[in-house]
C-alpha cells in the first residue's frame, strides 16, 4: 500500500499543497473539505493536470474522514481567513473550533500521524492542535517560518540583484508581526549580509517580509497568498515522508530551549521521518533572545484567550 498524505482544506493553499505533494509521486493524496463536492471537483482537476505533466492521478477529493485513514502526515490549512472588521479574537476563536474538530477526527483515523499546521494564527493553532491531539511535540509542527524566510530571501536577492538560491538565512519567532530576523546567520554566497546591506535598509527589508502576507493580500484584493505557502507545506511533507533531514524554521513547542518553556515558537529544526528530530542550537545575541521571548509571549496571550 502506498503512503498517504492528507490535506485538510481544499481552498487555494490546500489545492496548491495537494498538487505539489502529488507531483512528487511518493504518496497518494487525500484532499478533504467540509464542501465535499468542491474537494472532489478540485481533485478531479488536479488529477487531469497530472496526466499532462506526469504525476499519477492519485488525489482523492472527499468530505469523509474515513478516506484519510492511515495518513502518515496531515496538513491542516482549513479555517476562516481574517476579513475586514474581524478582530484577532474573532479569528482566533472561530478557528479554534475548526482545529478542535479537525484534529480529533483526523486522529480517530490516523492516531500515529504527524500534523503540519498552517491555519492562522498559526503558532496558537499549533499549540491548540498539540493540546487536543495528545501527540508528542515532535509530531505537531507549525508552518510559517519557511514562508517568512522565503519572503526574506527573495527581498534580499532583489535588493542585491543576485540569485535567491545564493541567499542563505532564516527568521525565527512568530509568523508575521513578531517575526525575528537573524542577520548574523544570513549570508549571500557565504558573504555576511551585514557586509552587503546597511542596517537601516536591512530593517526595511525585514519589515517587508513581516508584512509579506498583507502585501500579497492587499494587491490581490479578493485572495491571499497560496503558492508560496503551498510550496512551503510540501517541502515540510517531503522532508518528513522521505526522511530528508532538512533544516527548516518551523514552529514547535519549546521545552527550555532558548529559555522558553511550553510555548510554540519558530526555530530551526531538523525534519525527518519522526517529525521534529532535533531543535538546532543557535548562538543568539541578547537582543535576538529578547525578541524571541516577546514573540513567545504573544503566543501565550492567544493561548490564554483560548483557555487551554
Of the candidates 175, 179, 187, 276, the residue annotated as catalytic is 175
Q: Do residues 211 and 107 make contact, with C-beta atoms less than 8 angstroms apart? A: no
Phi (first) and psi of residue 118, to 5 degrees: -120, -20
In the residue annotation, 131 being an active-site residue is answered as no
Place of cell 545575541: 285
Q: Do residues 249 and 266 make contact, with C-beta atoms less than 8 angstroms apart? A: yes
Rounded CA separation 215/211 (Å): 6
Long-range residue pairs from 282-288, CB within 8 A, at least 24 positions apart, any chain: 282/182, 282/185, 282/258, 284/182, 284/258, 285/184, 288/172, 288/180, 288/182, 288/184
Rounded CA separation 20/171 (Å): 24
**Backbone angle region of 78, left / alpha / beta, with phi > 0 → left and psi within -120 to 50 → alpha:** beta
- Catalytic (active-site) positions: 175
Amino acid at each position: 500500500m502506498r503512503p498517504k498524505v492528507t490535506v485538510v482544506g481544499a481552498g487555494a493553499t490546500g489545492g496548491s499543497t495537494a498538487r505539489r505533494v502529488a507531483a512528487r509521486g511518493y504518496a497518494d493524496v487525500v484532499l478533504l473539505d467540509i464542501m465535499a463536492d468542491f474537494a472532489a471537483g478540485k481533485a478531479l482537476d488536479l488529477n487531469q493536470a497530472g496526466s499532462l505533466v506526469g504525476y499519477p492521478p492519485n488525489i482523492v477529493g472527499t468530505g469523509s474522514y474515513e478516506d484519510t485513514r492511515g495518513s502518515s502526515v496531515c496538513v491542516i490549512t482549513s479555517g476562516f481567513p481574517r476579513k475586514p472588521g474581524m478582530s484577532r479574537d474573532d479569528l482566533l476563536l472561530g478557528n479554534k473550533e475548526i482545529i478542535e474538530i479537525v484534529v480529533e477526527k483526523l486522529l480517530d483515523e490516523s492516531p500515529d500521524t504527524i500534523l503540519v499546521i498552517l491555519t492562522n494564527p498559526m503558532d496558537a493553532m499549533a499549540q491548540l492542535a498539540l493540546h487536543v491531539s495528545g501527540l508528542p511535540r515532535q509530531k505537531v509542527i507549525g508552518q510559517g517560518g519557511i514562508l517568512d524566510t522565503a519572503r526574506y530571501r527573495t527581498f534580499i536577492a532583489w535588493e542585491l540583484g543576485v540569485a535567491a538560491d545564493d541567499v542563505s538565512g532564516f527568521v525565527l519567532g512568530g509568523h508575521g508581526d513578531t517575526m525575528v530576523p537573524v542577520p548574523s546567520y544570513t549570508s549571500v554566497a557565504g558573504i555576511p549580509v551585514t557586509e552587503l546591506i546597511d542596517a537601516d535598509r536591512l530593517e526595511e527589508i525585514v519589515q517587508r517580509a513581516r508584512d509579506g502576507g498583507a502585501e500579497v493580500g492587499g494587491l490581490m484584493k479578493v485572495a491571499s497568498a497560496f503558492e508560496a505557502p503551498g510550496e512551503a507545506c510540501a517541502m515540510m511533507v517531503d522532508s518528513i515522508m522521505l526522511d530528508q533531514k532538512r533544516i527548516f524554521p518551523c514552529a514547535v513547542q519549546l521545552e527550555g530551549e532558548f529559555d522558553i518553556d511550553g510555548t510554540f515558537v519558530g526555530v530551526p529544526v531538523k525534519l525527518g521521518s519522526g517529525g521534529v528530530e532535533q531543535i538546532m542550537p543557535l548562538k543568539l545575541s541578547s537582543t535576538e533572545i529578547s525578541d524571541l521571548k516577546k514573540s513567545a509571549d504573544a503566543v501565550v496571550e492567544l493561548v490564554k484567550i483560548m483557555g487551554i
